[in-house]
Amino acid sequence: MEGACEGSLACSTCHVILEDEIYDKLEEPTDEENDMLDLAPGLTETSRLGCQVIMSKDLDGMVVTLPNATRNVQSERFAERPSHQQQPQPSAQPQPQ
């Protein structure tokens, strides 16, 4: 799982799906978390941003499911950076002389 914004509520790459009983033990998500969750593919009734889940003994043994897809604007644009574009390869064809 990626946490592209490192927990600053600026992405939804840490989207996780929790079991009902675990979800109910947590504090309600903030408006900022809900705004980011709205952008997460595969949103469910028990979705949370993993970076906002504060671990405690009460959550021991919890099972987390990752959604089938994620949205990461950073990764989507990663290949567009000039330093990450493919350089043309020299031709393997013999050049006429």
Q: Given the rule CB under 6 A, which residues bind ligand FES?
A: 3-7, 9-11, 13-14, 36, 49, 51
Residue among 18 and 49 whose Cβ is closer to ligand FES? 49
Rounded Cα gap, residues 12 and 37, in angstroms: 6
Alpha helical stretches, state H, 10-91: 20-25, 31-37, 73-78
Taking the C-alpha atoms of residue 31 and residue 21, their distance in angstroms, rounded to an integer, is 22
Tell me whether residue 72 or residue 82 sits nearer to ligand FES (CB atom): 72
From the CB of 13, what's the least distance to ligand FES, in Å?
6
Of 37 and 83, which has the nearer Cβ to ligand FES?
37
